[in-house]
Chain A
Amino acid sequence: MGDYAVVGKSLPRVDAAEKLTGAARYTADVRLPGMLRGKILRSPLPHARIVSIDTTRAERLRGVHAVIMGRDTAGLRVAFVDTPKYPADEPPFALDRVRYIGDEVAAVAAIDEETAREALSLIRVEYEPLPAVFTAADALRPEAPLIHEFDYPGKTIWEDWGARGRPAGDPVPRTSNVAARTAVAFGDVDAGFAAASHVREDRFETVPVAHAPMEPHAAVAWFDPSGKLSMHVSSMGIFYKRFVLAKALGVPISQVRIHKSYVGGAFGGKIDVFPYEVGAALLARKSGRPVLIELSREESLTATRMDFHANVRVKTGVDRDGLITAQDIQVIVDTGAYRGSGPVVVFLCYSYNIPVYRVPALRYEGLAVYTNNPVKGPKRGHGAPFIRFAVDSHMDMLAEDLGIDMVELMRRNARDRGEVMPTSGDTLRSCGLKDALAAAARDGQWAARRRRTDWRSSERYRRGVGMSACSMFSGSPYYPFGSAAVIKLHDDGGATLFAGTVEMGQGSETTLSQIAAEELGVPLDDIRIVSGDTELTPIEFGSFLSGGAFVTGKAVRLAAADAKRQLFEMAARLLEADVRDLEARDKRISVQGAPHRSLTYAEIIALSVKHASGDPIIGKGSVKSVPDAELHPSLSTARGRWTEAYGFAAQLAEVEVDTWTGTVEVRRLVTYHDCGFPLNPQVVEGQIEGCVSMALGQTLQERIDLRQGQVFNPDFLGYRLPITHDMPAMVSGMIHSDEPYGPFGAKEVGEGAVSGVMAAVANAVYDAIGVRITSLPITPAKVMAGLDRARGGRG
């Protein structure tokens, strides 16, 4: 691996200078002549029927150019999941009902923010309040009000890609608030529990947390005179966004163009197509002017997407050696007023859990339940943080029951390379899980510290260590199911890479450029990348489901290899040599053993133009995210191929608990991430450190304070993100497992390391003070209550 010139090196990011000088343009920075500002009117009630909407006064206000509401959307519904089983359920603007506080009712476009805000205050909406429910448990009661009375089957967004359709017909009455259910069973579960020498069952809970990217969501929309829509959006995949936007607006895909914007962080929260984006387009169409909608921080936090409230029950049987004989897991999530990603997360809680430990028999049920809370969506790890928190806290408890060291118990059950995942058939062609565990235990001084008191500072301050592990996909069969890339060579041997990636902080422009440079045999400086524009770049998978580097990276490598093959063929013709006898070095191709017979890349390209009908050499590459997959797998049964490679991580936390105040300080957080091969180690470290920081926020302090559907901490004063003072010493190491299907052996790194932190910290707290915390966040109040109980128990 050491013989690469560009990949595997910590080269500075290609977008750094633009971002450091203020030149980088984000969506809210776009300024167009005549541009209007759009604002959204939102429901103040958690559940209500709309009796009437009167916009006449708003329309008459000077400076207002357009007002829209539900009837302007042609009755369309959009959703993250839109399949025959789970048809889209979210009208971009309310049609007859509002279902959560913040639900979109109307939108206005005016000459400035102030006028738009005043116009909103002039819209009169008469509501008839309906009974509301705010927990999954309440929503599951037979007498609970139905949050959605009907499903609306019809053409799904996937149909033109071969998904079975259901004929559009009358709305189908719903009978419960279950929005989605995943059920998986394999092996003989009853026999497995019967054969176990020890069985235990535990319950865990996590609360909603915010993505809180530093850039609030924004959209700019305008129509050109021919009627084509152009947009700048906060996205994580421009082709997915274009696809759903076109469907939502009822226009052909080729009539919608997404232009490049840098994205100021996303973490899952910018995948969905949001009502404000549909609103910006509708307002632009109606007003004939460009429209910018910039959500406030409060809107971004409360009315886009947030992470799930989850209740997890885990029951496991183990034999005398601690090997798992059977497992029974139930996950219930509150998915909010619309399905959001509920059907996906209850599938993923199974799919992200199963690659970690060998489970011969499993019963799994996942339920996503409608409530009148804000809508839930994918957040970094998408279910893995709460399922891994539950399962590895539970494993720590099993380890204690059995008198087996936790790391040893994990090692005995951990999966190895070559194993095939049940139900999906995915194969672990690379798996560095055990190596990661060993490395994290070594660097965290596990053996010297676990269950020992000799390194503690005092009776008041107690220290402990805890371990957890996790796993993550590297891209999935999800629209657009693959990526393509084009490389155009220039007169001087430099190249422009055309790739549809969205740079949202993950470093994709840099790592993809490195892949192109390596394959072409040119320095990184010779590559210029054009990205983030649906007209200028070929189709691209997107930077979600951790498929950016793995899927698009492969397409870029193929495109570069294609360009290089053409260079070699032209060189062979010009040098009158066999192509197999040629070698390339320093942008020069020469005949092996005859270095005087050589041409520079620039000369070959120039001669190619002269001799090959103007062909300047353009390379092309494309790849499917999962070549064997027909379409997406079944979310309800978890059958069907899902990914080509799994990333793994092991994480160790060292904590110090103040037994007088209950404060938990994480002193050190060791992560070893099996990312296959780090294309840019500095970028990989940055991803791990970002995961750890976000995960520590969720573990110790972050919580959206929801009461009766109302968010009580909708800003950064009430919702406190980690700051510089909160960061522990971090060790962020990489395991090279050399994934055979990845570009240069690389696989996912952007999400995995978020999911082992919660259980690692909870287990470390138990190690320090003997108090088991089973719900997040681990607050001083919970720690003190646990200490009181422990003391009471002793007394």
Chain B
Amino acid sequence: MKRLIQLTVNGQAHDLVVTPVGTLLDVLRDDLGLTGAKRGCDLGACGACTVILDGRPVNSCLTLAVEADGSDVATIEGVAAPGRLHPVQEAFAVHGAVQCGFCTPGMVLVTKSLLDECPEPEDRQIREALSGNLCRCTGYVKVLDAVRAAARRLRAREGVR
């Protein structure tokens, strides 16, 4: 019944015993104690459980753990070094994009992933990228401000290099 899988999570390799119905979200939250990925709907409709799977943002509640076998997973806990914030996280803090915080990890990961791929997104692209991440607190106004600011910041940093 149970299966042995291997996952690399935030750079650390894990051997895990999972059930065939267990999701990646279950494994992260219950087996690895990484509760930054949130269970908001269990249906892939809210984006609160977003993690980066082999470089792409996915709803971890819709990803079976066995499907992720051998994959590389990045979660919110691994975005920045301990005690530090990634420029995307910093922009969210400065621009007031965080309220209750439940959607925040998913928003940050999707933003990071967008800006990794597309450093100069148009507004339409930002809205599209975040259209699968629900937020009930902010009305998205300050989230969009933060993403624009993060893009500027990251570009400036690239320029310096």
Is A1 an interface position by the 8 A CB rule?
no
Is B137 an interface position by the 8 A CB rule?
yes
Given contacts A262-B101, A505-B100, is CB(A214)–CB(B48) below 8 Å?
Answer: yes
Cα distance, A29 to B76, chains bound together (Å): 14
Closest CB in chain A relative to B25 CB, distance in Å: 12
What 1/0 flags go to A724-744 for Cβ under 8 Å of B?
Answer: 110100101000000000000
Partner of B80, one of A21, A683, A689: A21
What 1/0 flags go to B77-109 for Cβ under 8 Å of A?
Answer: 101100001000100111010111111110010
Closest CB in chain B relative to A673 CB, distance in Å: 14
What 1/0 flags go to B12-52 for Cβ under 8 Å of A?
Answer: 00000001010000000110011111111111011010000
Binding site for B on A (CB under 8 A): 10, 12-13, 15-26, 28-29, 31, 114, 211-216, 262-265, 267, 294, 296-297, 504-507, 682-683, 685-686, 689-694, 715-717, 721-725, 727, 730, 732
Partner of B131, one of A21, A690, A723: A723
Q: Which residues of B contact A730 (CB under 8 A)?
A: 139, 141
Partner of B100, one of A29, A262, A715, A725: A262
CB atoms of A214 and B43 under 8 A apart: no
Cα distance, A774 to B102, chains bound together (Å): 35
Partner of A263, one of B75, B100, B105, B138: B100
CB atoms of A16 and B98 under 8 A apart: yes
CB atoms of A214 and B85 under 8 A apart: no
21 contacts between A and B (CB under 8 A): A13-B93, A16-B92, A20-B98, A20-B101, A21-B85, A21-B89, A26-B102, A212-B136, A213-B100, A214-B102, A215-B38, A215-B100, A297-B43, A685-B96, A685-B142, A715-B41, A716-B43, A722-B139, A724-B127, A724-B131, A725-B131
Partner of B101, one of A505, A717, A722: A505
Given contacts A264-B38, A727-B139, is CB(A19)–CB(B96) below 8 Å?
Answer: no
Cα distance, A570 to B42, chains bound together (Å): 58
CB atoms of A216 and B39 under 8 A apart: yes
Closest CB in chain B relative to A697 CB, distance in Å: 9
CB atoms of A31 and B33 under 8 A apart: yes
Closest 9 pairs (CB-CB, A-B)? A22-B36, A693-B139, A505-B100, A19-B101, A264-B102, A716-B45, A505-B99, A29-B35, A22-B76
Is B144 an interface position by the 8 A CB rule?
yes
Closest CB in chain B relative to A25 CB, distance in Å: 7
Q: Which residues of B contact A26 (CB under 8 A)?
A: 35, 38, 102
Q: Which residues of A contact B76 (CB under 8 A)?
A: 20-22
**What count of chain B residues pass the 8 Å CB interface test?**
56
CB atoms of B141 and A689 under 8 A apart: yes
Q: How many A-B residue pairs have CB under 8 A?
A: 174
Residue of chain B at shortest CB distance from A294: B39
CB atoms of B75 and A22 under 8 A apart: yes
Q: Which residues of A contact B43 (CB under 8 A)?
A: 297, 715-717
Cα distance, A783 to B93, chains bound together (Å): 41
Closest CB in chain B relative to A465 CB, distance in Å: 20
Cα distance, A727 to B140, chains bound together (Å): 7
Q: Which residues of A contact B115 (CB under 8 A)?
A: none
Interface of B (DSSP majority class): loop
CB atoms of B85 and A17 under 8 A apart: yes
- Residue in B75, B93, B136 with the greatest tally of chain A CB atoms within 10 Å: B136
Residue of chain A at shortest CB distance from B30: A31
Cα distance, A172 to B48, chains bound together (Å): 48
CB atoms of B33 and A264 under 8 A apart: no
Residue of chain A at shortest CB distance from B86: A20
- Residue in B19, B30, B102, B104 with the greatest tally of chain A CB atoms within 10 Å: B102
Closest CB in chain B relative to A236 CB, distance in Å: 12
CB atoms of B38 and A686 under 8 A apart: no
Partner of A25, one of B19, B35, B92, B139: B35
Is B7 an interface position by the 8 A CB rule?
no
Interface of A (DSSP majority class): loop
Given contacts A213-B136, A723-B131, A724-B127, is CB(A504)–CB(B100) below 8 Å?
Answer: yes
Given contacts A21-B77, A505-B101, A683-B96, is CB(A717)–CB(B45) below 8 Å?
Answer: yes
- Residue in A213, A262, A691, A716 with the greatest tally of chain B CB atoms within 10 Å: A716
Q: Which residues of A contact B34 (CB under 8 A)?
A: 22
Closest CB in chain B relative to A80 CB, distance in Å: 22
What 1/0 flags go to B99-142 for Cβ under 8 Å of A?
Answer: 11111110010000000000000000011101111111111111
Cα distance, A730 to B139, chains bound together (Å): 10
Q: Which residues of A contact B128 (CB under 8 A)?
A: 724-725
CB atoms of B77 and A721 under 8 A apart: no
Partner of B99, one of A12, A686, A723: A686
CB atoms of A716 and B46 under 8 A apart: yes
Residue of chain A at shortest CB distance from B143: A724
Q: Which residues of A contact B140 (CB under 8 A)?
A: 693, 722-724, 727
CB atoms of B42 and A265 under 8 A apart: no
Partner of A297, one of B40, B79, B85, B93: B40
CB atoms of A10 and B96 under 8 A apart: yes
Residue of chain A at shortest CB distance from B142: A686
Q: Which residues of B contact A725 (CB under 8 A)?
A: 127-128, 131
CB atoms of B99 and A506 under 8 A apart: yes
Residue of chain B at shortest CB distance from A13: B98
For chain B, residues 51 to 77, give those with C-beta under 8 angstroms from any C-beta of chain A: 75-77
Residue of chain B at shortest CB distance from A732: B141
Q: Which residues of B contact A25 (CB under 8 A)?
A: 35
Cα distance, A17 to B104, chains bound together (Å): 11
Closest CB in chain B relative to A404 CB, distance in Å: 33
Q: Which residues of A contact B75 (CB under 8 A)?
A: 22
Q: Which residues of A contact B99 (CB under 8 A)?
A: 265, 505-507, 686, 690
CB atoms of A723 and B35 under 8 A apart: no
Q: Which residues of A contact B108 (CB under 8 A)?
A: 20
Given contacts A22-B36, A724-B127, A730-B141, is CB(A686)–CB(B101) below 8 Å?
Answer: no
Question: Other CB < 8 Å A-B pairs besides A28-B39, A724-B131, 18 of them?
Answer: A16-B93, A20-B85, A20-B89, A22-B35, A22-B76, A25-B35, A114-B19, A214-B40, A214-B137, A505-B101, A689-B139, A690-B139, A715-B43, A716-B134, A724-B130, A725-B127, A727-B144, A732-B141
Residue of chain B at shortest CB distance from A297: B41
Partner of B40, one of A15, A16, A215, A691: A215
CB atoms of A13 and B96 under 8 A apart: yes
CB atoms of B134 and A723 under 8 A apart: yes
Cα distance, A22 to B86, chains bound together (Å): 13
CB atoms of A505 and B142 under 8 A apart: no
Closest CB in chain A relative to B28 CB, distance in Å: 10
Q: Which residues of B contact A693 (CB under 8 A)?
A: 136, 138-140
Cα distance, A692 to B138, chains bound together (Å): 9
Cα distance, A13 to B133, chains bound together (Å): 22
Cα distance, A429 to B136, chains bound together (Å): 33
Q: Which residues of A contact B134 (CB under 8 A)?
A: 214, 716, 721, 723
Closest CB in chain B relative to A16 CB, distance in Å: 4
Cα distance, A114 to B36, chains bound together (Å): 23
Cα distance, A24 to B29, chains bound together (Å): 14
- Residue in B36, B100, B103, B130 with the greatest tally of chain A CB atoms within 10 Å: B100
Closest CB in chain B relative to A11 CB, distance in Å: 10
Closest CB in chain B relative to A723 CB, distance in Å: 5
Q: Which residues of B contact A694 (CB under 8 A)?
A: 136, 139
Cα distance, A16 to B75, chains bound together (Å): 17
Closest CB in chain B relative to A567 CB, distance in Å: 31
Q: Which residues of A contact B79 (CB under 8 A)?
A: 21
Q: Which residues of B contact A686 (CB under 8 A)?
A: 96, 99, 137-138, 142
Closest CB in chain A relative to B27 CB, distance in Å: 13
CB atoms of A12 and B45 under 8 A apart: no
CB atoms of B45 and A17 under 8 A apart: no
Q: Which residues of A contact B130 (CB under 8 A)?
A: 724
- Residue in A26, A505, A732 with the greatest tally of chain B CB atoms within 10 Å: A505
